[in-house]
Chains A and B, each alone.
Chain A
């Protein structure tokens, strides 16, 4: 053995015949290392791990996209609310008594006398 000294512990870890460390020993052909159940389990764990990772990333991404959409829609909401106010203002101007009276006079109309107005209930 070339003068090397081996400890007892080392000897126990080595194959007495080949001298190779038992942990490095090649496995015999034909012996399966994992059962199918273990394979399924490992695959499932792998999928869960990958899935959760992908899911986490995807949800973050979606959240950000929804955030973009939300802020865009909020801005649109504010713009529409403001437009609504402006349209109501314009309506108020157009239905003001002065404007209606001037428009009616321009169209050749005149105020109805109370006697001409008949109440229908």
Chain B
């Protein structure tokens, strides 16, 4: 019995000792072995945040795609593997075999292919060949805003444009899943994705909401490319800005490129010329010369200067005008774009004062836009300015600027004298939707008083009239203003101004009374014609007209050119404006003789306008007529107008809304 007892006790002791050894002494090691058998981590491919336009349309999106890789040392029959893979992947068998025979432990066979192809490769179960998930960037707008958005590389890093500027926000973290598997390898517990960056810290992915409007961008791109093609130009730029906030609505460059296939283009073409190219702006500077001179009260719009019959010697150089002007007012100097007149205004103002105003307008320094590669341009310091420099700066030579600087400076005139900081990103949001950063309009400084800005605006509207240099920039139903520029380029070989290479510019804003957009158009080295008023102004008109319609900005001015042009018709227009009368507009480009007789012309001369009788008209007719009168038309029913409130004949000045009931015709 003792022996049995002792044996039992000994046996139990052995069991207990072994248990102590396994559960206490070797606990950690054995736990790790067990855990490795049933738990593991899965890494999801890092994504990039989405880039939206201001209306929430996707401009850049990342989705999961598959990639196929191989461990060449593990593949026994490389030829057979290459043959089988070639059938599925659609890649040359020789190329695949070359990859498989490489002296490397890991090779990519094909990256970023449709997941269905990856699945087919996975089912082939070729030893040494595996598949994994990666993310790929797509740009559904293709060439739309290609220069602006830029592109991301194969490893999800931003390389150009906003993709690069905001890489730290857009680049998503590596998501890690911790999962536990049963004996059959089926996961029975998976943790929620935990975002980790390279240092193991928590990080989330962000989306960008831009100030860009996809449709305005497309229209600007399209109109610009047509102009560049028509004039066989080297390149072009079109920029649309909200002058009141500094938001960039469109930034187009031609020739464009498709960021989905950026490698197919020359890197030179990736350049966002709106900020990277600095050039001599030519006569567009006269707008800012005018502003500075009026602000300093050294001239008034009616101050006269003798324009030397179109040829003027300064410090051994001859300055020419396009016509042999004699006496011109300051207003005419700008509207007719006289270089000689501008020089004399500049002398009156003084080089130092003018360049101070130029710097005030933002020239010679970066605007601070959230893009990389911005040039600051150059404004010659007073101490370094020779006599010829002090003259030609007045008509935009001897200094360099970027298109963005010109547009923002013009925006400051348009909005009443405040220089705004331009920006492209409206919001930065977490992928869940929470806004982490919201951009607000930022005023840099006040450059002009509102009164001076108003006077400059009125004078610049003359540039877009029939006597100015840019009648082709006029937009039916709106009063536009701006300035043309036809700037000679410097020939790098002769280091003199070229006689054949020009930059054709137009920068303007519309509507004059309440500017909603500033648009700059630049066509670089056009052939056939080089005038800004001929080459660039029509693009402004097309983009401006379309944008105003897209933004649902109602035309407020519809005027008829009465027969017998000149001052009389303009007086008719001013009278119409005072009385608030809306009359049908002629088509653009038609002369007064071809213009249709206006509706309500008689009322203009003799009596107060009254609400017309809409009854009997179709819905289209009623809406069109109501809109042209500046009324809000509320429609009820369909068919033909049978009733209206207020009744016809009520004074128009007392009516803002008219209700019209329609009924099906009997």
Contact = CB atoms under 8 A, between A and B. Distances in A.
Given A70-B190, A71-B189, A71-B190, A93 B627 contact: no
Interface string B25-60: 000000000000000000010000000000001110
A119 interface: yes
Interface in A84-121: 85-86, 88-89, 92-93, 95-98, 114-115, 117-121
A88 B50 CA distance: 11
Nearest to B62: A85
B11 interface: no
Contacts, number: 76
B623 A120 contact: yes
B141 A96 contact: yes
A10 B623 CA distance: 123
B642 interface: no
B620 A85 contact: no
Contacts of A92: 57-59, 61, 140-141
B189 A67 contact: yes
Nearest to B624: A118
Given A85-B61, A89-B140, A98-B142, A118 B627 contact: yes
Interface in B549-591: 549, 552, 554
Contact of B218 (A98, A117, A118, A121): A98
Interface residues of A, number: 26
Contacts of A78: 44
Interface stretch (B100-108, B179-187, B416-424): B179-187
A84 B549 CA distance: 33
A12 B570 CA distance: 141
Nearest to B187: A71
B188 A96 contact: no
A119 B620 CA distance: 10
A23 to B, nearest CB: 20
B144 A114 contact: no
Interface residues of B, number: 42
Interface string B167-191: 0000000000001101000111110
A83 to B, nearest CB: 9
Given A92-B57, A97-B214, A98-B144, A82 B632 contact: no
A46 interface: no
Nearest to B219: A97
A56 interface: no
Contacts of B192: 74
B344 interface: no
A64 interface: yes
A86 B59 CA distance: 13
B635 interface: yes
A68 interface: yes
B189 A88 contact: no
B545 interface: yes
Interface in A13-62: none
A95 B140 CA distance: 9
Nearest to A121: B632
B138 A89 contact: yes
25 contacts: A64-B182, A68-B186, A68-B187, A68-B188, A70-B189, A70-B190, A71-B189, A74-B190, A86-B63, A88-B61, A89-B58, A89-B63, A92-B140, A96-B140, A97-B144, A97-B215, A98-B142, A98-B144, A114-B476, A118-B624, A119-B554, A120-B623, A120-B633, A121-B632, A121-B633
8 tightest Cβ-Cβ pairs between the two chains A and B? A92-B140, A67-B188, A97-B218, A92-B58, A71-B190, A71-B187, A114-B549, A118-B623
